[in-house]
Chains A and B, each alone.
Chain A
Amino acid sequence: MDKAHIKYTLSWATLVLMIFVFIYVTTIFDVIGQYGMTTIVLIGINLIAAVGLNLVIGMSGQFSLGHAGFMAIGAYATALVSSAIPSIYGFIISLIVGIMVSGVIALAVGLPTLRLSGDYLAIATLGVAEIIRIIIINMKSTRGAAGIFGIPNFVNWQVVFGLSVVAIVFVVNFVRSTTGQAIIAVRDNEIAAESLGINTTKYKVIAFVLGAMLAAIAGGLRASFIQSVSPQDYTFMQSITILIIVVLGGIGSISGTVVTAIVLGILDVILQNFGSLRMVIYALVLIIVMIFRPKGLLGTSEFSLKKILFDSGGDHGNNNSKNQ
C-alpha cells in the first residue's frame, strides 16, 4: 500500500467520522427529535438494500425486480430467530440466517435465469418475490397477513450507520477486485468477456447473490428496528422504492445511490402528506430522468475525494470513474 493510497483512505475515514459526529451532535442537542432519528435509520436501511441492488443492476447489468422478496427473507429470519433467542447473539445469528437463506434462494433463481440473455431475470425475480410473499402469508409460523409483532430491538442509528459504511466499503472494494472487474466486463460486453475466458453466468450469479444477501441484511435491520414485520411491507412497491434510489442516483454509481437514498429519504418526509400524488411525482421523475439521462443523474461516475483533495492532474489509476 503506497503513501497516496493511505492518505486517500484516511481522508474517506475522516469524512465518515465527520458525518458520524455530526449526527451524534444533533442527537445530543435533540435537534431532529425521535422522528428525525427514525428517518435517518430508515435511510440507512434503504441505503444498504440499494447498494446491494446497484451491485446487481449497475455492476452486472442484470435487472432484478425482486429485491423486496430478499428483504422479506431477512426480515422474517430476524423476526423468528431473534424472537426465539432475544439477545444480541440471537440477533446476529438471525442476520446470518437471513443472509444464508437469501443467498441460497438467489443462487437457485439466478443459476437458471442468468444463463439466458434478455430481461428474463426481471420477471423471474418479480415472480420469486411474489412467491416468497405468498408463502409467508400462508405459513403458520410467520402468522400470515397479520405479521409478527414485538420483535426485540437491537438496532439504533449507530448500528445502521456502521453497517451502511461496511456495506459501501465492501461493495466499492468488491467492484475493484478481480471478481468485480470480471462482473463489469460481462456487463460491458458479454461476448467479449466470454471470449476472454470469463464464465459469464458465474459472475452474474455472484453479483446477484451478493445483492440478495445485502437485501437480507437490510430487511433484518428493518424488522428489528420497527419491531414488527408484515407481508404488506415487502410488496412489489418496496422493490420499486429501492429501484428508484438506484436508478435516479445513477446505475452503477455507489455515491449516486448514497446521495439519492438520503435525498429521497428526506423528500419522503416532506411529501408524506401527499399520498398518491407523491407516487405520481416519483413516476414522472423516473420517466423524465430516463429520457434525458438514461444512466441516472450521476451516470456511472463516482464522487471522488481523491480528485477534490489530491488531484494534481496525474495518477487516476485507482479511480473507478468511467467518465474520464
Chain B
Amino acid sequence: MSSIIQQLINGLILGSVYALLALGYTMVYGIIKLINFAHGDVYMLGAYFGYFFIKVMHFNFFIALVLSMFVSALLGMLIEFIAYRPLRQSPRIAVLISALGVSFLLENGMSYLYGSDKRAFPQAIKTIQYHFGGIQISNIQLIIISTAVTLMIVLTIIVKRTKMGRAMRAVSADQEAAVLMGINVNRTISFTFAIGSALAAAGGVLIGLYYNNIDPLMGMTPGIKAFVAAVLGGIGIIPGAALGGWLIGILETLTQAVGLSDYKDAVVYGILIVILLFKPTGILGKNKREKV
C-alpha cells in the first residue's frame, strides 16, 4: 500500500512539471490555435538559464528561478514576434512548420554552441529526505510541487482578475470581437507567450534540480507529453492542463512501477490516441457544435 502511495507522490511531482508545461501549450493553443512545438525547447532553455544563474552568477536558487522565468518570458515574446506574428494571416500549416523550425533551431543551436552532452545541474539546494511511515519525500520534491501550485494560483489570479487576463480570455473566445472592443490583440498574444514561456522555464529549472542534469534535447519528449496532457485535460482549458499534467505524470510513474518502464512513453502516446477516439475535447472539455 505504502509503495502505491509512494508512486502516486512521485507521479504527482513529475506531473507538476508536465502541468507547468501543459499550461503554456493550452494557453497558446487557446488563443491562436497553434501547437507551439518550440514550447518544450523553451523549457530546455529555461533550465540552461537556471544553470547559468546558479553556476556562473552564483545566485540563490529561488532568485535564479525567477530570473530564468523572466528571461524566458522575453525569449517567448521574441519567438512569437519573429516566427509566428508575420504568419498570422498564413495557413495554419505554415505557422506549425515555423514552430517546428524554431524548435529545431533552439535544439541544434544549443548543441552547436554548448555541445550536446549532458551537463550536471548545480546542487543549489541540499537534498534532505523526510520519512512518513513507509513513504519518503525529499525537500526538492516539496519545492517542485509547492512552486508549481503557487505558479498555478498566480496564473489563475492573472487570468481571472487582471485586465490583461480578461483580454486573454476575450481574444481566445473571439479574436475579431476582441479587436472591436479595443483590445490590442498582438500585445495580448505576446503576453500569453510570455506567461507560457515563464511557466515552462520554471518547469525546466525544477526538473534540472530534480534530475541533476540538463541537455539540449531534454525538452523534446516532455514537450510532447505535456501537449498530450493538455489534450487530455481539454485543450484551451487552463485547469484541464493542470489536471492532465498530473494524470500523465502519475500514469507514467505507475507504468514504471509495474515494470513496463520501456513502454512508459508509448503508454502516454497511446493515451492520446484513446482520447482522440473517445473524447477529443478532453476530460473537462464541452462539446461544441460546429458552426458554418
Contacts and interface: CB of A to CB of B under 8 A. Distances in A.
A291 B105 CA distance: 15
A251 B93 contact: yes
A286 B269 contact: no
A134 B292 contact: no
B262 interface: yes
A247 B86 CA distance: 18
Interface string A262-285: 000000000000011101101110
Interface residues of A, number: 43
Interface stretch (B12-20, B67-75, B94-102, B151-159): B94-102
Interface in A154-186: none
A61 B94 CA distance: 11
Contacts of A130: 224, 265-266, 269
Interface in B243-292: 262-263, 265-266, 268-270, 272-273, 276-277, 280, 290, 292
Given A123-B231, A284-B105, A243 B100 contact: yes
Interface stretch (A110-118, A199-207, A305-313): A110-118
Given A128-B269, A191-B292, A290-B87, A63 B108 contact: no
Nearest to B268: A127
A202 B107 CA distance: 37
A240 B96 CA distance: 12
Contacts of A279: 104, 107-108, 111-112
B contact face: mostly helix, strand, loop, or mixed: helix
Interface in A280-298: 280, 282-284, 286-287, 290-291, 294-295
A134 B224 contact: no
Contacts of B94: 290, 294-295
A290 B83 CA distance: 9
A179 B90 CA distance: 27
Given A63-B96, A243-B97, A287 B112 contact: no
A69 to B, nearest CB: 11
B100 A240 contact: yes
A315 to B, nearest CB: 30
A117 B292 CA distance: 13
Contacts of A117: 290
Contacts of B109: 280, 283
Nearest to A235: B220
A42 to B, nearest CB: 21
B116 interface: yes
B92 A119 contact: yes
Interface string A38-70: 000000000000000000010001010000000
B272 A127 contact: yes
A180 to B, nearest CB: 19
Of B35, B83, B90, most A-chain CB atoms within 10 Å: B35
B227 interface: yes
Contacts of B272: 123-124, 127
A285 to B, nearest CB: 8
A287 B102 contact: yes
Contacts of B82: 287
Nearest to B280: A116
Contact of B108 (A131, A280, A290): A280
B96 A287 contact: no
Contacts of B90: 290, 294
A295 to B, nearest CB: 7
A286 B100 contact: yes
A120 interface: yes
Contact of A122 (B96, B116, B269): B96
B166 interface: no
For the complex of A and B, list the 5 residue pairs with the smallest distance between their C-beta atoms, beginning with the closest: A127-B269, A286-B101, A283-B105, A294-B94, A279-B108
Given A63-B96, A276-B116, A291-B87, 15 more contacts: A63-B93, A117-B290, A123-B228, A127-B228, A275-B112, A280-B108, A280-B109, A282-B104, A283-B101, A284-B105, A287-B82, A290-B94, A291-B83, A291-B86, A294-B91
21 contacts: A61-B93, A112-B273, A112-B277, A116-B280, A119-B35, A119-B96, A122-B35, A123-B35, A126-B269, A127-B269, A134-B266, A137-B262, A243-B100, A275-B112, A277-B112, A279-B107, A280-B108, A283-B102, A290-B83, A291-B87, A295-B94
Interface of B: 33, 35, 82-83, 86-87, 90-98, 100-102, 104-105, 107-109, 111-112, 116, 220, 224, 227-228, 231, 262-263, 265-266, 268-270, 272-273, 276-277, 280, 290, 292
